[in-house]
Amino acid sequence: MPAISPAGSENDLPVLSDARERLPRPDLSGVARIRVLLTVDFPPFSFVDQTGRLTGFHMDFIREICAELKVEAKCQIQALPYAELAPTLEKGAAEVVLAGVSVTPALRQTFAFSRPYLVLPARFAVNSKIAVTGHAGSALSGRPVGVVAGTVHEAMLKGFFPKLSARPFETPEAMLEALKRGELDAVFADGLRLPFWVASEASAGCCRLFDGPYLSQRFLGEGLSAMFRGNDTILPAAFDSAVAALSRSGRLQEIYLRYFPNGLY
């Protein structure tokens, strides 16, 4: 998949569905309760704040989903360690997992999934001391570009930009410090964490995002989806219908900007 540059601000969400599409909404009157499982250690999607309260993108997102479906009284939210999510769902002790589960063919044999509601890109960041414009493939040609060794981002960089001079690092921290010191002109990394680092005190204003975003189902997967019990056909359809409605109304964008003010895209 080529680079995606959404219309408007770089903080805009890319369009994942046809705005004209009206998905059928199943009758949920026969659903007794909707138990939603989150994790506590997946910031900014779900985490415990300084007051001990569970918060994050997924928390606000599922509340909006339940409100859109008019099932707030049936929605129950519980936080569990990541390793316990799939077993808890499989044994019928929950209806939904919302925790950034990577969709795989093996999981599809056991569970049902919603359409992706958020895709996670890869991004470049460059040291602000270098003057580059245009497309990364030409602008960064001949320049040292850091990437974490053995990751999907290393494979994606080689696949998308075979002519760039990739310099592998053992850890993200070592790579970012090298960029900060000017030992690298650019890095190619996870588009979820890179914008936070660029905007944080840790970067000391050294760097900026450049070009992209870059999306690839082959390297980065399908995106974030909700996971349901395998025999459930009602809740996945209801979820997709609600997400489409939130996207059309702008409420999904509002939640996104609340937790990703620096943008993923």
pLDDT score for 119 = 87
Beta bridge partners of 144: 165
pLDDT score for 4 = 39
Beta bridge partners of 166: 145
- Rounded Cα distance between 264 and 153, Å, is 16
Q: Write out pLDDT tens, residues 213-222.
A: 999 989 988 8
Pairing state of beta strands 122-127 and 207-214?
antiparallel
Q: Looking up tokens 């129950």, which residue turns up?
A: 76
Query: Residue 184: is its pLDDT beyond 50?
Result: yes
> Greater confidence, 159 or 9?
159
List C-alpha distances in Å: 22 to 120, 236, 243, 244.
Answer: 25, 15, 11, 8
Ranges of CATH 3.40.190.10 domains, the chain: 34-119+222-259, 122-219
| Statement: the pTM of the whole predicted model exceeds 0.75 | yes
Q: Write out pLDDT tens, residues 6-36.
A: 334 455 665 555 556 677 889 999 999 999 9
Per CATH, which fold does 122-219 belong to?
Answer: D-Maltodextrin-Binding Protein; domain 2 (3.40.190)
Classify domain 34-119+222-259 by CATH architecture: 3-Layer(aba) Sandwich (3.40)
Q: Write out pLDDT tens, residues 36-67.
A: 999 988 889 999 988 989 999 999 999 999 99
Contacts of 83 (CB under 8 A, 6+ apart): none
